[in-house]
Structure 1
Amino acid sequence: MTNGGWLDSNTADGMRLTLAEEFSDIYVYNLRGNQRTAGEQSRKEGGKIFDAGSRATVAITVLVKDPTHTGSSRIHYTDIGDYLTRRQKLDLIAAASDITGLDAMDIAPNEHGDWLNQRRDDFPNFLPIGDKTATERIFVLSSAGLKTNRDAWVSGFSPARVESNIKKMVKFYNAEVDRIGGSSSTPNMDPSQFSWDRADRANLRRGRKYVLASDSLRRQTYRPFTRQAVWFDRTLNNTVYQLERLFPSSTVSNHGFWLSAPGCPAPFQTLLVEAIPDLVLGGAGNPGQFFARWRYEPVGMGAGEAMLSFDVADADDANVVDGYRRVDNVTDEALKKFRAAYGDRVTKDDIFDYCYGLLHSQDYREMYAADLKKMLPRIPLVIDPWPYVKAGRELAKLHLDYETVEPYPLEGLDVQPSGAVAWEFYRVEKMAFAKQRDPETKKLVADKSTIKYNGRITVSGIPEDAYRYMLGSRSAVEWIMDRYQVKTDKASGIVNDPNDWSREVGDPRYILDLLARIVTVSVETMKIVDALPLLDILDGPDSSTRD
């Protein structure tokens, strides 16, 4: 009995290949119970097998070695099923009695060592979105999102509070440098004064002090449709990856789409943002990659490369800001490939929009779901690209301009303060769904059409379609409910208050209207996605037609 993650993980493909070579028969009983998921997926996983301890999938595996057996291993797989409680799972185990009592299906592994959710053969033939080892790819540069390892200290809804926290933290650290002075003394590990990372301990021993850079306070997309302030500093962040080449200063603009990286437990997701993305923008445990429309090079570097581009206008001085030249991040190789297929009218903006539109295609996501779990997207050329270009452009505008779309006409949205200060009237602590009694079970369950915003405001009339727009394991609406609540970090005691952002933008209704705007964004997103055609892949030497 083991953690069942090895059944489908990227890192265990070698193990699965070896097991299939070493044993004549393999019986697997997948008991599910992954507690690291959220939303509907968590409910499908059902109860965990052990009352305490493991939060992972649990599997029972029986390995049989028959010396008389020849040929490939016979793999017999049983999935216990969805939505089962711990007690129901244990009863099914008892009823099975032995391996002959399992309702198993036989699995034929593929060449990659996939047992479950096997990859398709045509996916590797498509154009990589950002494989640095590939001679042809769509984007020159990609980056993981920002990894701070001290989010509570360096990011939050209040820019002033973030800056104050950083100053406090650095003052404390520098005092420790003075106190210890290269000695073997133990540093003060008080988490209310400083959040220690591995690099800080090494720098402390070297006697290196920290200096605050003047241009480090930036805007960040921390979670879907959640903008915050962040202290963007290579010294005070754990890892900034390539983000300094995409957001080199606070005065340059950029946008790009973040997408979930291979191995994420949540369903594939992507979102266009115009601020520094967090590493796990899609939720804890879901690291991702960011593909920006532009990259920036210091003046005097990269200009020659830009001059060789089809988009030569980007190399002139009009595209120099703060000492950085804007360079197109879509490759010339990708442009040549698209123009060979669709004609010279194609631009690099079209390619960017095409990718964003295609990555929202339900047909694409379902057909290549297994591939997207194991590698970054590859982009097929379709017979008619223009519906995807149009969809990508419409989605981009909707997702970037979400703060200005028309709020969905929810009941209760027009509420006005009566004799109360507006800031207090619209203040949010934690939103929650209203409750209704299930007619069958008689239990109280969430009524997702109605949200209790605070003790004074309740909005209703949220359509079911709004919850179809999923970003990982949560709908966009549920992301707003999750992020726009007052939270206190246990270790440091730092309070992150979303109402501070309302004051930052000067609008006491900001969060209430944002909730209604994201309902609009969700409904309109699904209209665009539903209108996309079925995937009709162009037949050619670098792609394959659909089955």
Structure 2
Amino acid sequence: MCRDQFGYGITDEGVHVQDPFTGTGTFIVRLLQSGIIKPADLARKYTGELWANEYMLLAYYIAAVNIETTYQALVAEQQPDRPVDYVPFPGVTLTDTFQITEKGDRSDTSLIPVNNQRIEAQLAAPIKVIVGNPPYSAGQTSANDNNANLPYPTLDGRIAATYAAQSTATNKNNLYDSYIRAFRWATDRLGDQGVIAFVTNNGWLDGNTADGIRKTFQTEFSDIWVYNLRGNQRTAGERSRQEGGKVFGSGSRAGVAVLVAAKNPHQTGCHIHYHQVPDYQSREDKLDDITDATLTTTAWTTITPNTDGDWLNQRNPAFQTFTPIGLKDTREPTPRIFTMHSNGLKTNRDPWCYNFSHKAVEANMSRMVDEYNLEATTCTGDESKLTTDPTRISWSANLKSDALRSRTHQFHPDRIYESLYRPFCHQNAYFDRPLNERVYRLESIFPTPTHDNTGFYVVGVGSAVPFSAVAIDCLPDLHVTGAGSGGQFFPRWTYERADSSAQDALPAPGDAIDEWGYRRVDNITDQALKTYRDAFGSQVSKDDIFSYVYAVLHSPQYRAAFAADLKRMLPRIPLAASRDDFERFVAAGRTLADLHIGYETVEPYPLTEQHSDTVTGPEAYRVQKMRWKDKTTKKTLIYNAHITLDDIPAVANEYMLGSRSALEWLIDRYQVKTDKASGIINDPNQWATEHDDPRYIIDLVKRVTRVSVDTVRVVDALPELPL
């Protein structure tokens, strides 16, 4: 790239190379060993034009030794008849790369004068090539870790002014991931000319939040080459298998890509070259294919981005012409179908707030609230005094903030709701604002456990899993389909409190105030009703619109045509081709909603139960962990050591919710699990016990098989949309 763009190579004088996150020095070692640096240039390069930073002390020492012994060996090869002196590597520094370029806020290195001198020399060097494998870290996963990412005001300000400013995403927190900070830092460090070569997480290639990164790259680089090794194992099912082997083995579940990008001030525009490894390729094959010969003969694809910053899986322009099902701002006058929608419940302490056992939720949360109140009244605003023992409490940002302000909370047993935690998996949930990290708008959808409502949950924008929707009549979790991005719930109704002091407190005709002081409000907009009545006749009701939308969201034609759009934004709904087709969609939507909401009461599918005689009675139906007898045919399910379920129809496995079939969700969720951090046990058998139904789980498998078969039948009969 250097020779192609600028006419010089890495071996040439004045071409300074830096590895800002060197770890144990692998990149610099491999550069020295590669032969890219000519023997005559080796001493000059080693003593003044190679730079490596490391933040961790042990890794720093190992990097220095690795680089120095590699150089000594190379010199010894050049002069085998003469002794070789050991020459310390002057380019390695113990420092935080991001910190040393912060304006007016550099790390204090005065205690190590030599290290400080090296940092100053590095900062003065005209870096032309930056290589490495930046760390991946979007932030701590638990406040108990007490290990939040450090702030870098100067660097983060640059991200805000570029990547974040260009992004259309609402939540831009992930733009401050360490590897994205590395993009921003390296691009700025190069100045007007140079090359970046990073091995990174590949989420920026197609992520919704990363549209601002891609747009900025197009303006800051002249040539971009991306070799996508894939391997994203945060997916599941067939999608996971297509991603192939994990590039770093057990070290990371993230997908990986190699980025080589050039800044050439003499070239206009940006040329983007892309290649991705084939589906199902093993880790070994991926790495074997990365050779000089392969890279020069690869059939690179030229990418022409669209105006939305899409590089891969570009969205369909027709999608924007349809009516959105919802908008974030409820005051926005743009037509939409639902007045409001909400994320599902985000507890940040699921093992405590969720459980198959109502008694367990009550005991766990009561115990945690007691512990919290003790911490809040004794910490005196000092965070260091708060316990980090995960068996006693699960901290989150909001709860920790309350404790430091000495705010106490109460446990309310009447705030335990029935919820849908994952597809066809009801659990008990503690739903109470002070003890949940985010409740979003759910309090106006399910104000009390006794308020009825229905709606449907759709996979969140930016999710790694395929789009899906599922109808629900209880409190939804944030990640019903296990998606990385929290899904959205579209309720049929909302509830508002009837405040007698408010000027608009008088109910509209037919809007009764219930015994808890709430009024039910229709969540389908009048705008939508007018649109559908204009198109399909005055007999159309808001219930019809709800059913129509739910059916369209299941249309294979719709999902295929707008797969890229559904990853990036909330669904938009096209009108049916005719009144007859509209009515067919409505009927299908009602059937699907009835199946998915009433899955616990449908007629069980007649699977063949095979029992041993060793255990009888209720104990015979306990599960520990179900599994397929053969993962290829998925015809027989080993329910437990005593029972197998046979003759599962192949079509049942075609009903997918995200990356798993409905039956695979049951296998995943209906197993006894112990949370490693808290030690809390979540036992699905407790649900059966507390509902006095020992056969609940085995019959659930049969019922969900029925739901799956019937769903596929209904979906296959949907009419075509005029797309």
Normalised by the length of structure 1, the TM-score is 0.90
d(CA) in 1 for partners of 2:410 and 2:661?
A: 41
1:508 counterpart residue number: 694
Residues 23, 63 of structure 1: 8 Å contact kept: yes
Q: Does 1:259 align with 2:478?
A: no
d(CA) in 2 for partners of 1:211 and 1:153?
A: 15
- Match for 1:316: what amino acid? A
Q: Does 1:269 align with 2:479?
A: no
2:230 is paired with a residue whose SS is: coil
1:491 counterpart residue number: 677
* Paired residues for 1:423-442 under 5 Å: 423-435=618-630
1:377 counterpart residue number: 571
2:458 is paired with a residue whose SS is: strand
1:229 is paired with a residue whose SS is: strand
2:404 counterpart residue number: 205
- Match for 1:56: what amino acid? A
CA shift digits 1:490-510 (9 cap, x unpaired) = 111111110011012211110
Deviation at residue 201 of structure 1 after TM alignment: 2.3
1:35 counterpart residue number: 233
Q: Does 1:459 align with 2:654?
A: no
Residues 259, 269 of structure 1: 8 Å contact kept: yes
1:339 counterpart residue number: 533
The one of 239, 242, 257 aligned to 1:44 = 242
1:520 counterpart residue number: 706
Q: Does 1:77 align with 2:263?
A: no
Deviation at residue 182 of structure 1 after TM alignment: 5.2
Deviation at residue 535 of structure 1 after TM alignment: 1.5
Gaps of 5+ in 2: 1-198
d(CA) in 1 for partners of 2:455 and 2:674?
A: 31
Residues 126, 379 of structure 1: 8 Å contact kept: yes
d(CA) in 2 for partners of 1:494 and 1:79?
A: 42
The one of 289, 295, 299 aligned to 1:92 = 289
Deviation at residue 421 of structure 1 after TM alignment: 5.0
d(CA) in 2 for partners of 1:28 and 1:188?
A: 45
d(CA) in 2 for partners of 1:170 and 1:359?
A: 41
d(CA) in 1 for partners of 2:515 and 2:524?
A: 20
* Paired residues for 1:465-480 under 5 Å: 465-480=651-666
1:166 counterpart residue number: 365
The one of 336, 340, 363 aligned to 2:557 = 363
2:386 is paired with a residue whose SS is: coil
d(CA) in 2 for partners of 1:307 and 1:225?
A: 36
Deviation at residue 123 of structure 1 after TM alignment: 1.0
Say if 1:78 and 1:182 are closer, same or farther in 2 by CA, change over 3 A: closer
Residues 34, 45 of structure 1: 8 Å contact kept: yes
Deviation at residue 478 of structure 1 after TM alignment: 0.3
The one of 329, 351, 360 aligned to 1:152 = 351
**RMSD of aligned C-alpha atoms?**
2.2
Higher mean Cα deviation, 375-384 or 44-53?
44-53
1:17 is paired with a residue whose SS is: helix
2:190 counterpart residue number: none
* Paired residues for 1:534-545 under 5 Å: 534-536=720-722
Q: Does 1:287 align with 2:486?
A: yes
d(CA) in 1 for partners of 2:492 and 2:267?
A: 56
Residues 483, 658 of structure 2: 8 Å contact kept: no
- Match for 1:129: what amino acid? I
- Match for 2:558: what amino acid? Y
Q: Does 1:57 align with 2:255?
A: yes
Q: Does 1:324 align with 2:534?
A: no
1:532 counterpart residue number: 718
Deviation at residue 180 of structure 1 after TM alignment: 3.8
- Match for 2:555: what amino acid? S
d(CA) in 2 for partners of 1:95 and 1:68?
A: 27
- Match for 1:510: what amino acid? Y
| Runs (4+) off by over 6 Å | 305-308
d(CA) in 1 for partners of 2:321 and 2:703?
A: 40
Residues 126, 378 of structure 1: 8 Å contact kept: yes
Deviation at residue 173 of structure 1 after TM alignment: 2.0
d(CA) in 2 for partners of 1:143 and 1:262?
A: 13
Q: Does 1:250 align with 2:449?
A: yes
Q: Does 1:102 align with 2:301?
A: no
d(CA) in 2 for partners of 1:188 and 1:110?
A: 50
Between Structure 1 and Structure 2, how many residues are aligned? 518
d(CA) in 2 for partners of 1:446 and 1:121?
A: 39
- Match for 2:627: what amino acid? A
Deviation at residue 307 of structure 1 after TM alignment: 6.6
Find the structure with the greater CA-based Rg.
2
Q: Does 1:481 align with 2:667?
A: yes
- Match for 1:193: what amino acid? R
CA shift digits 1:255-302 (9 cap, x unpaired) = 110101110000001100111000011115241000000000112489
2:274 is paired with a residue whose SS is: strand
d(CA) in 2 for partners of 1:26 and 1:458?
A: 54
Deviation at residue 178 of structure 1 after TM alignment: 4.1
d(CA) in 1 for partners of 2:673 and 2:435?
A: 22
1:297 is paired with a residue whose SS is: strand
1:485 is paired with a residue whose SS is: coil
- Match for 1:169: what amino acid? M
Say if 1:184 and 1:243 are closer, same or farther in 2 by CA, change over 3 A: closer
d(CA) in 2 for partners of 1:178 and 1:105?
A: 62
d(CA) in 2 for partners of 1:371 and 1:341?
A: 25
1:215 is paired with a residue whose SS is: helix
Say if 1:179 and 1:3 are closer, same or farther in 2 by CA, change over 3 A: closer
Higher mean Cα deviation, 257-266 or 446-455?
446-455
The structure with the greater share of residues assigned to helix is: 2
Residues 449, 462 of structure 1: 8 Å contact kept: yes
Residues 22, 65 of structure 1: 8 Å contact kept: yes
2:210 is paired with a residue whose SS is: helix
1:540 counterpart residue number: none
1:236 counterpart residue number: 435
Residues 128, 134 of structure 1: 8 Å contact kept: no
Deviation at residue 60 of structure 1 after TM alignment: 2.0
Residues 220, 227 of structure 1: 8 Å contact kept: yes
Say if 1:177 and 1:532 are closer, same or farther in 2 by CA, change over 3 A: same
1:449 is paired with a residue whose SS is: coil
CA shift digits 1:296-330 (9 cap, x unpaired) = 0112489959977xxx53x235xx24211111011
Deviation at residue 411 of structure 1 after TM alignment: 1.3
Deviation at residue 410 of structure 1 after TM alignment: 1.0
Residues 306, 327 of structure 1: 8 Å contact kept: no
Residues 174, 210 of structure 1: 8 Å contact kept: yes
2:41 counterpart residue number: none
d(CA) in 2 for partners of 1:6 and 1:306?
A: 51
1:220 counterpart residue number: 419
1:541 counterpart residue number: none
Gaps of 5+ in 1: 436-444, 537-545
Residues 251, 322 of structure 1: 8 Å contact kept: no
Greater RCO, 1 or 2 (C-alpha within 8 Å, sep 6+): 1
2:362 is paired with a residue whose SS is: helix
2:386 counterpart residue number: 187
Normalised by the length of structure 2, the TM-score is 0.69
1:290 is paired with a residue whose SS is: strand
- Match for 1:49: what amino acid? V
Q: Does 1:412 align with 2:606?
A: no
Say if 1:61 and 1:523 are closer, same or farther in 2 by CA, change over 3 A: same
d(CA) in 1 for partners of 2:324 and 2:505?
A: 21
Higher mean Cα deviation, 383-392 or 217-226?
383-392
Higher mean Cα deviation, 357-366 or 374-383?
374-383
- Match for 2:235: what amino acid? T
Say if 1:198 and 1:23 are closer, same or farther in 2 by CA, change over 3 A: closer
